[in-house]
Structure 1
Amino acid sequence: MSDFDDLLAANREFADSFDLGGFDGKAHAGIALVTCMDSRIDPLRMLGLKHGDAKIFRNPGGRVTPQALEALVLGVHLLNVQRVLVVPHTRCAMASASEADLRARVGESAGVDASWQSFGVVTDQLGQLREDVDKVRTHPLIGERAKVGGFIYDVDTGLLTQHA
């Protein structure tokens, strides 16, 4: 028995009615979204989008990392991305815990020293959001090629508020 049998069974059920084949992989609504990995976020539904409408990049804190920028450059030039949303959220662990606290909690859970691990904690969520939006707006391979906005997603109401 595999540790993944339940998920493989669910996948077989999914595949039985799979109707997404032949998709070209482009962002049909022209949207790219950088958001947090938090499971309270349903990226497509929160924007009224469906499968195939957007490119989605998720990481802790919804940060514009070098990897996120790489994905956005590809999206803008090859995948029909015309608008970029950067969307961290309320009650995010990355904006409410300190780096030292996360290192201690992970170290305790792992049973080994985690003091060397970086977690990219955000001490000023709105300030960081503005900086992240600016990273995209001023990137030489993105710049004016896409509209960029920064939003906070409220995990308790489902509402987005624009801040950049």
Structure 2
Amino acid sequence: MEFVSTLAERNAHFASESFDNTLKMLPSMRTVIVGCVDGRVDPAEVLELEQGEAVVIRNVGGRVNAALYETLEILQVVASAAGKPLGEGWNLIVLHHTNCGIVPCFKHAPDLLAKNLSVSTSDLDHMAIADPYEAVRLDAAMLVSSDRLPAGLIVSGMVYDVATGRIDITVPPELVRG
């Protein structure tokens, strides 16, 4: 109960000091960031994003999976309805990190992880679960070559180091071929 009260107090402070009711629904930087649910790696924090600059989608490991594609497809519909279709001029950033909790899942719950990633357990060996740099490269390549994303979307990949607080641009911007 005490923590909920703390959150309510923080929200009251936010509402009185930082709330901006003029923000638009779509991000001002035309950017979508896909990251991990790990509490140490909040993309808005580590990239010092301002409110309304980017859409942040978080899942286990920050990996490309069926749910991510579905979310991006819905975002495409919303953006098109708002007159700013997802595609040319939009950025899609894959943000993985070091020391990810997905690694033990690979060893202790491979069936669960395979289901989450929409692959067979035998395919997990090729997913670079323990190497965030290679995992970013694989995920970015999957997005760039996807026929589920609009052409012109710019995909890039970064790895956040939880020991230093720094990011490494591992995959430079590349256009989705669509």
Which bin holds the TM-score, normalised by the shorter protein?
Answer: 0.7 to 0.9
Q: Where does residue 68 of structure 1 map in the other structure?
A: 68
Structure 2: runs of 5+ lacking an equivalent: 118-123, 172-178
Matched, 1:128 2:166: no
Q: Could you state the TM-score of these two structures normalised by the residue count of structure 2? A: 0.69
Identity %: 25
Counterpart in the other structure of 1:83? 91
* Unaligned segments of structure 1, at least 5 residues: 104-114
Q: Given that residues 158 and 170 in structure 2 are in contact (C-alpha distance below 8 angstroms), is that contact kept between their aligned partners in structure 1?
A: yes
1:12 corresponds to 2:19: no
CA positional deviation for 1:38: 1.5
Q: 76, 80, 100: which is aligned to 1:92?
A: 100
**Alignment deviations for residues 43-86 of structure 1 (CA, whole Å, 9 cap, x no partner):** 13433431111010011211112222223334456445501110
Question: TM-score with structure 1 length normalisation?
Answer: 0.74
SS at match of 2:55: strand
Which region of structure 1 is more displaced relative to structure 2, 7-16 or 154-163? 7-16
Paired residue type of 1:136:
L
**1:147 paired residue number:** 154
Q: Deviations over 1:6-29 (max 9, x none)?
A: 322332332233522132211111
Structure 1: distance between partners of 2:17 and 2:131: 45
Q: Which amino acid aligns with 2:157?
A: G
Q: Distance in 2 between matches of 1:32 and 1:39?
A: 19
Give the letter for the 1:71 counterpart: T
Q: For residues 3 and 157 of structure 1, do their structure 2 counterparts lie closer, same or farther at Cα, with a shift above 3 Å needed?
A: closer
- Equivalent pair of 2:98/2:132 in contact (CA under 8 Å): no
The letter for the 1-side match of 2:94 is: V
Q: How far is 1:153 from its partner?
A: 1.0
- The answer to whether the 8 Å contact 2:69/2:148 transfers is no
1:159 to 159, 166, 170: 166
Matched AA of 2:59 = N
SS of structure 2 residue aligned to 1:145 = coil
User: 1:69 & 1:139 partners in 2: Cα distance?
Assistant: 10
Contact (CA 8 Å) 1:36, 1:62: kept in 2 or not?
yes
Q: How many residues align?
A: 151
CA RMSD after TM alignment: 2.8
